[in-house]
Amino acid sequence: MKIAIFGGSFDPVHAEHVNIVRAAREKLGTDKIIVMPANIPPHKQGKNLASPQDRLNMAKLAFAGIPGCEVSSYELNAGGTSYTCRTLAHFRQKYPDATLYWLVGADMLEDFPTWKDPESILSMAELVACSREGEHVNFKAEQLRFFAKYRKGFRVLEFTGRDISSTKARVLAAFGEDLKPYLLEDVIAYIQANGLYRVECVKEALTFLKPARKKHTVSVALTATAAAAKYKADERSVILAAGLHDSAKNMDLSDPKLQGFSIQEQVPAPVLHQYTGAYLAEHYFGVKDEDVLNAVRYHTSGRPAMSTLEKLIFLSDMLEPGRDFPKVDKLRAYFAKDLNECMFRALDHQIKYLRKGKGEIYPLSFRAYEYYKNLRRN
């Protein structure tokens, strides 16, 4: 008997998850596939935005009708952190004579050595790396690394699909964007009926923007949330700050929503909306989180000693895919590796651009540049 186990947050379950299960059934010749929503994934502590029951319900909707596939509540019922080695030990005891496969996304291979007791995992099941056709993964190098460390390799399972992530789906749901290209209709209906991932003020803020600015705002949110896990930033805060960062961009100072706003210093016109946006976030939308407010307040100018959230919003605003300027790809490469180095280089680019007569250098931006330049020397 061949049994494949597919674990994950499924927050929410998306079309790629379903494609993986269908490919496993066809190419591995499995008799049973067990889909396993995690209670608390070790690598995503505190990151689940939907409840365990909601994630279980969505998984049941998504995988209904696939022959030989069942959705298990084992890890949810077990509670606590969900470790693969413990789950496999349970199913190895339950199916002592079965061939077990553990399905993972190919992007998880690099982190596999950090999993709890990886040797035990490989002794109980064959690891199957699920890779989208056309996805660029150096499996030869990964196999060599696995053999050198564990004396075992892994199987590669290719499937047909598109680049989808649960993170992207959550952001699009928060912004009220179309989810049909990414999620099954039953899952979309469940999300909408239960108000999952909804951030009402973000949806309203988008109505204040012109179409091009709205597109930019969604792109900033997608860019920032894609980096949030790496830099240990709270996803809800990232979505909120990204969604509100340009909320006053197309708003006149005479707008009633800005009644009471004032600023004592002379601010260049391209910078002013960061301050009106922060005012709008606090006084109209009722945001109290000072980190979120500061991320909006300094997303154009930057400032010395920015928080991780502030840096994510500043850099995502500058580097989202819709931006195109010389050396933007180099800055994006730094963004993926080191936020402080990227801040220095981004501010350096900004100041050099303004010095060419393209605009006024705001003193706060220059102080931020000096701060991150000095940080490199220490």
| pLDDT at residue 42, as a whole number | 86
| pLDDT at residue 134, as a whole number | 66
Would the pLDDT of 197 be above 70? yes
Q: What is the pLDDT of residues 296-343, one digit of tens each?
A: 999 999 999 999 999 999 999 999 999 999 999 999 999 999 999 999
What length is written for the chain?
A: 378
In this prediction, residues 92-101 reach a mean pLDDT of 97
Would the pLDDT of 169 be above 60? yes
How far apart (Å, rounded) are the C-alpha atoms in residues 171 and 206? 13
Q: Parse the chain into domains and list their residue ranges.
A: 2-164, 199-377
Residue with tokens 């209906």: 189
Would the pLDDT of 47 be above 70? no
How far apart (Å, rounded) are the C-alpha atoms in residues 276 and 253? 8
Please state the φ and ψ torsions of residue 134, each to the nearest 5 degrees.
90, -10
CA atoms within 13 A on the CB side of 197: 28
Would the pLDDT of 179 be above 60? yes
Q: What is the share, in percent, of the chain residues with pLDDT greater than 70?
A: 98
CATH superfamily of this structure's domain 199-377: Hypothetical protein af1432 (1.10.3210.10)
How far apart (Å, rounded) are the C-alpha atoms in residues 152 and 143? 8
Please, which residues have CB within 8 angstroms of residue 300's CB and are 6 or more apart in sequence?
Answer: 270, 271, 273, 274, 314, 317
Q: Average pLDDT over the chain, rounded to whole?
A: 94
Largest CA distance in the chain: 75
CA distance readout (Å), 375 to 304, 344, 366: 10, 9, 14
Q: What is the CATH number of domain 2-164?
A: 3.40.50.620
Cα 270 off chain centre by: 29
Q: What is the share, in percent, of the chain residues with pLDDT greater than 90?
A: 84
> What SS3 string covers the chain?
CEEEEEEECCCCCCHHHHHHHHHHHHHCCCCEEEEEECCECHHHCCCCCCCHHHHHHHHHHHHCCCCCEEECCHHHHHCCECCHHHHHHHHHHHCCCCEEEEEEEHHHHHHHHHCCCHHHHHHHCEEEEEEECCCCCCHHHHHHHHHHHHCCCCEEEEECCCCCCHHHHHHHHHCCCCCCCCCCHHHHHHHHHHCCCCCHHHHHHHCCCCHHHHHHHHHHHHHHHHHHCCCCCCHHHHHHHHHHCCCCCCCCCCCHHHCCCCCCCCCCHHHHHHHHHHHHHHHCCCCCCHHHHHHHHCCCCCCCCCCHHHHHHHHHHHHCCCCCCCCHHHHHHHHCCCHHHHHHHHHHHHHHHHHHHHCCCCHHHHHHHHHHHHHHHC
| pLDDT at residue 100, as a whole number | 98
- Radius of gyration for the alpha carbons in the chain, expressed in angstroms and rounded: 23
How far apart (Å, rounded) are the C-alpha atoms in residues 263 and 277? 13
How far apart (Å, rounded) are the C-alpha atoms in residues 159 and 23? 6
Top pLDDT among 354 and 46 is at 354
Would the pLDDT of 89 be above 80? yes
